[in-house]
Structure 1
Amino acid sequence: MRDIIIIGSGPAGFTAAIYAARAQLTPLLIASSVEVGGELVNTTEVENFPGFPEGIMGPDLMTKIQAQAERFGTEVVYDDVVELDVAGPVKRVKLGNGETHEAKTLVFATGSAYRKLGLPEEELLSGHGLSWCATCDGFFFRQKTIAVVGGGDSAMEEANFLTKFADKVYVLHRRDSLKASKIMQQRAFDNPKIEFVWNVEVSAIRGASAVTGVQLRDTVTGEERELELDGLFVAIGNDPRTHLVHGKLDLTVEGTIAVQGRTSKTSVEGVFAAGDVIDPHYRQAITAAGSGAAAALDAEVFLAGLEDAESVDAEPVPVAVAAN
């Protein structure tokens, strides 16, 4: 039985592995059989991760983080978790190949997935003018014309942020009113760089090697028209990957895994969570990495407590000797 198993291969998972391995906990990290590296592998140039002043490609960054984790002794298994048993003191993880691994602690760092429009062009143009993260990619659209798809708080926040760089930001919304909070709506309405396009949905994204525009369908009349753009940001929400722990761990109203205060401790003793799966707000590589470090440190303290308890239980009980 292992000390620790980490599920997830993004910045949170591999950073947890680095810390756990350096603490000589010999972690086993379960990476996906298909998508290793989290959302960063779908990102082009990353300029806001500390330590890379010239920037670094997302896949290259994850390769370096993984290599660092493996250097200290992390074992990586490329398979998918199909079942979890976290109820007792021994945590059991069943993989798609039928193998079951056991550990005293578990770090759950499966991240989240951005909701997509469901268009075939998304795979081709992702990272080439199409983005799901204004904080990550807004800098590349200086003096450009771009659009944000969505009508919630996230979309309004993205649109306002992008006006720091772009000359023009369209907000494309499928209804004639927003679901964002009043204060977020007003900030967007008051921004002279933002223009709202109501009752439209994106039916196609134009561009062979980079985004050049979108095709819009009127949700009332069905009429189609073109809108020329230099970039498109999709802000229709994201879904934390928590399907494996439904009914096993407490979740928040946002659907993320609930943790205790600023720790990584979940509702089950010995199970810790980190990264986007607990964070509905920031969703940055650097915050995920920090969260992974915290999870490994919390797990290390928990394991030390188990060792102390076991040593106390192992101490011989004094036998009273009757006086003559």
Structure 2
Amino acid sequence: MSGDRPARLALVPGEPAGVGPELCVRLAQQPRDYSLTAFADPHTLQAAADALGLPLHLRPPGQPSLQPGELALVAVPNRVQPAFGQPDPRNATSVIDALHAAADGCLRGAFDGVVTGPVNKAVINAGGIAYTGTTELLAQQAGREVVMMLANDVVRVALATTHLPLREVADAITSDSLARTLHITHAALVADFGIAAPTLAVLGLNPHAGEAGHLGREELDVIEPVLARLRAEGMRLIGPLPADTAFLPSKLRGFDAVVAMYHDQGLPVLKYSGFERAVNLTLGLPYPRVAVDHGTALELAGKGLADPSSLIAAAQACAQIARLRRTMTP
């Protein structure tokens, strides 16, 4: 991104039978200081606009508009046109193709960031594609180690492990993997949030952070040695902290982010503190990727009831990070 050019964002609706397409239509109605190019099926977007009774003017790729009601479009046709709330595994390839194409545009420098709507993991796998999440998909495509972070205006939560069965979590937390998570999170807080010397709170894995080994040894054998080593390198790290008290407002004021050991250790607290305003970021990619923090909400699709707040916040956050990266690039 150069000069005063607005950030160029790629937009992927996600599951075509869910609320993603209509959220994209609602996003397109917003005044904005960034451009949007959707990677989607035009008929699906138009059906969503018609259901909402909102204008939608699709422009050719390369002609992104800042005007409300307009979207540039890179057409990624669905195999079958979906009915609202009824996902079809035959469209799994289209969903994945749209994600890959938008990310490829970022890697080539055609876009400054990507904003993604909700996908349905079960439907994609039913379509014959092994898929654990968009975070993992984009990391593999870019050849990068990444970290999932969810954030709102109350707290930022990064995850040491993401989409794993609970009984596999302890084995997945190694000295190398935890150090990598902390390095990536620290670097992103500097580069993407403009925090010169961030402070990270690191949760323990076990109740009460292991009670000095009486409730598990992961804190003693893995987490504490990693924190000591990285503190010696100059990182500001607090912990390992008991997860049940780390999110108290009085404590959060002293942290720039919290690193949780597993998905449901940190994310329920974040979503309770402000679900509508929360976004999902993939840290460590060569471009900003920001997503909604909710699912496909199939039961709401086509009814005009889905709240676009998270997608709007995701686009705003993606544009802000893109602008900040520009100012920090020599």
State if a TM-score over 0.5 links the two structures.
no
TM-score (norm 2): 0.35
Greater helix content: 2
TM-score (norm 1): 0.36
Q: Could you say which structure has the greater relative contact order, defined with CA pairs below 8 angstroms and 6 or more residues apart?
A: 2
Bigger radius of gyration: 1
Greater strand content: 1
